[in-house]
């Protein structure tokens, strides 16, 4: 007699072939899994077996036709989607510790393999976490997510058309308030904040986007005011934070008549302003009017941004990228630094870039940055420079033709084939809609001798989709993984998987934000070829460049 946790409920969308049935039986018999799931290459579940009622409170039949990601807790869906996107290249998902979407958000080991026999299918197992070593699991069901992953998850929900709300919640004067708390009291308070924010709208994804500023992604028309009241009550429960003032606003994730890319740009812009300056800044850019209101108000300031770009009210700082084996400089990345101008359109690099994207000026900004970088290359004849280009520009035929014409005109000044000293980094700040157009741009740039790098690899699922669609020369691992790898076997596993994935696609790997010799040694051990960060040099001038 089978134990209750392994009692099998089997269902399939159609009668399986004898071989498929045998494969499923063997897969289930030789694993410690509670659940076996089969899906098409589109991720839609076609077969479900195992302890679904025990695990998820319903029979497996109810899950056929749903997407496999529906079995994963919202807070871990970005990680799962990243792994899922990589399956066509790697053929499997190595065991990951993720939380499932049951009421308790149970930590579970999820693994999968791609079965190529026609029809190709994805086979998943979900089982209990072994008793030893569960460092992959974050504490509690309401953990605070990484800000970049939070933003990308919110954009994914927006693009999918799901009914949801983004809440922007701020504890005023948080830095001063927490000085009266011991480290242990700070930890307990942070856990309490996570629980309150994670409970918004029944179940939510929450992130501390800046000190004392929190983003909340909640289902439906969540009552963010109620969340603010609960958080205020939590603060009043501690003498050191009793006087804390909590403010918040809810931003429905509906386009308000905007096209999906426009709505995504508006969301990105308001999150940037909130991160930098809190709820007052979010209100100042029109958050109370929804995404359409944000974009309408931003459009009024577009003229100032266009003037700032035309007048080159920014400069470039160059940070070295070195080989981890020999520490020799391979190239420099050109980093945009706005010149602070009273009354100007933005005051930080992130604001400058996201605002340009929000009002449709990313192409003009990218061209201006490229022109400055090319000028620097001419003044520093021994240097190689990487320039960041938005996905919005990369998919533009007009922008592509303009860049190629400029490279051709410079000719030998840029090295072999006209582009040997110039590299392009494709940023993921804006989602690429015209994949074919971007692929053509990348192919023609590489044909002109210009290597291409995928920036912030691992920060969002789109990077894996880009690696499949585009032939690139380098991928740059998001710095969050570099920081976390020293302390977590799970993060080290992610880095190893990304290095393996990049290598299978013919690309070399750069790790950013390396600040210590230990981080550099670890990245090299994991197979990373190049490093960038303060350990190797802060942003500054190119060799031979004059101020």
For residue 314, what is the enclosing H or E element? strand 314-323
pLDDT at 137: 33
Mean pLDDT is lowest, of 97-106, 169-178, 257-266, 329-338, for 257-266
What average pLDDT does the segment 477-485 reach? 86
Query: Once rounded to an integer, what is the mean pLDDT over residues 107-118?
Result: 80
Higher pLDDT, 5 or 267: 267
Handedness of CA 438, 441, 446, 451 (dihedral sign): negative
pLDDT, tens digit, 9 for 90 and up, residues 53-63: 888 888 888 89
User: Residue 146 has what DSSP assignment?
Assistant: P
pLDDT at position 5, please? Answer: 35
Q: Which of 365-369, 420-424, 521-525 has the lowest mean pLDDT?
A: 420-424
Pick the closest to residue 494 from 76, 79, 21, 217 (CA basis): 79
Q: What is the pLDDT of residue 345?
A: 54
H or E, element range at 509: strand 508-511
**pLDDT (0 to 100) of residue 443:** 94
Write out the two tokens for 125: 């197992």
- Domains delineated in the chain: 4-128 (3.30.450.20), 144-300 (3.30.70.270), 302-532 (3.20.20.450)
For residues 475-485, give the mean pLDDT: 88
Query: In the chain, pLDDT over 90 holds for what percent of residues?
Result: 25
Computed over every residue of the chain, the mean pLDDT equals 80
Contact 492, 485 (CB under 8 A): yes
Q: What's the pLDDT score for residue 28?
A: 40
pLDDT reported for residue 82:
65
Tokens representing residue 183 in the block: 């480290």
Distances (CA, A) of 329 to 325, 383, 478, 502, 542: 11, 9, 20, 21, 11
Name the burial class of residue 317, with classes exposed (0-12), middle (13-18) and buried (19+) by CB atoms within 10 angstroms of its CB: middle
Give the list of residues 6+ apart from residue 387 with CB closer than 8 angstroms, or none. 334, 369, 370, 373, 422, 423, 424, 425
472 pLDDT tier (thresholds 50, 70, 90): very high
Q: How far apart are CA 502 and CA 492, in angstroms?
A: 15
Q: Which of 19-33, 171-185, 384-398 has the lowest mean pLDDT?
A: 19-33
Q: Which residue has the higher pLDDT, 118 or 52?
A: 52
């Amino acid at each position: 007699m089978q134990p209750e946790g392994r009692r099998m409920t089997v269902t399939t969308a159609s009668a399986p072939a004898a071989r498929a049935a045998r494969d499923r039986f063997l897969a289930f018999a030789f694993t410690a899994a509670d659940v076996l799931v089969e899906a098409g290459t589109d991720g839609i579940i076609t077969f479900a077996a195992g302890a679904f009622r025990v695990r998820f409170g319903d029979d497996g039949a109810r899950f056929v036709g749903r997407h496999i990601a529906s079995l994963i807790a919202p807070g871990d869906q970005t990680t799962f989607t990243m792994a899922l996107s990589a399956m066509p290249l790697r053929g499997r998902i190595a065991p990951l510790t993720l939380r499932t979407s049951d009421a308790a958000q149970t930590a579970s080991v999820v693994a999968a393999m791609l079965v190529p026999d026609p029809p190709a299918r994805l086979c998943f197992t979900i089982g209990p976490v072994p008793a030893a070593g569960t460092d992959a699991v974050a504490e509690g069901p309401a953990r605070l997510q990484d800000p970049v992953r939070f933003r990308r998850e919110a954009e994914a929900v927006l693009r999918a058309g799901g009914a949801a709300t983004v809440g922007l919640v701020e504890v005023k004067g948080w830095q001063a308030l927490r000085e009266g708390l011991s480290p242990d009291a700070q930890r307990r308070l942070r856990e309490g904040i996570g629980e309150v924010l994670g409970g918004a709208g029944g179940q939510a994804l929450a992130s501390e986007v800046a000190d004392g500023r929190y983003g909340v992604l909640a289902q439906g028309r969540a009552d963010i005011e109620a969340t603010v009241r609960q958080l205020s009550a939590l603060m009043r429960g501690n003498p050191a934070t009793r006087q804390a003032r909590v403010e918040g606003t809810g931003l429905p994730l509906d386009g308000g008549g905007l096209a999906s890319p426009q709505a995504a740009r508006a969301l990105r812009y308001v999150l940037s302003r909130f991160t930098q300056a809190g709820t007052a800044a979010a209100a100042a850019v029109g958050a109370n009017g929804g995404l359409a209101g944000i974009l309408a108000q931003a459009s009024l300031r577009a003229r100032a941004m266009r003037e700032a770009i035309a007048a080159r009210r920014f400069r470039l700082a160059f940070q070295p990228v070195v080989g981890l084996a020999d520490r020799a400089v391979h190239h420099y990345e050109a980093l945009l630094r706005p010149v602070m101008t009273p009354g100007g359109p933005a005051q930080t690099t992130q604001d400058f870039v996201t605002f340009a994207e929000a009002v449709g000026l990313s192409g003009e900004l990218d061209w201006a940055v490229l022109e400055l970088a090319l000028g620097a290359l001419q003044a520093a004849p021994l240097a190689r420079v990487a320039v960041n280009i938005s996905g919005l520009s990369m998919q533009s035929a007009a922008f592509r033709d303009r860049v190629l014409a400029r490279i051709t005109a410079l000719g030998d000044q840029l090295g072999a084939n006209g582009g040997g000293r110039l590299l392009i980094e494709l940023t993921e700040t804006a989602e690429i809609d015209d994949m074919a157009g971007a692929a053509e741009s990348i192919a023609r740039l590489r044909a002109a001798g210009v290597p291409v790098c995928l920036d912030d690899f691992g920060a969002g699922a789109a990077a894996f989709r880009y690696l499949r669609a585009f032939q690139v020369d380098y991928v740059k691992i998001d710095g969050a993984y570099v920081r976390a790898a020293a302390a977590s076997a799970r993060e080290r596993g992610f880095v190893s998987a990304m290095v393996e994935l990049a290598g299978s696609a013919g690309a070399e790997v750069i790790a950013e934000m390396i600040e210590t010799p230990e981080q550099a040694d670890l990245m090299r051990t994991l197979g990373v070829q190049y490093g960038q960060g303060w350990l190797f040099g802060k942003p500054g001038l190119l060799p031979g460049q004059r101020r």
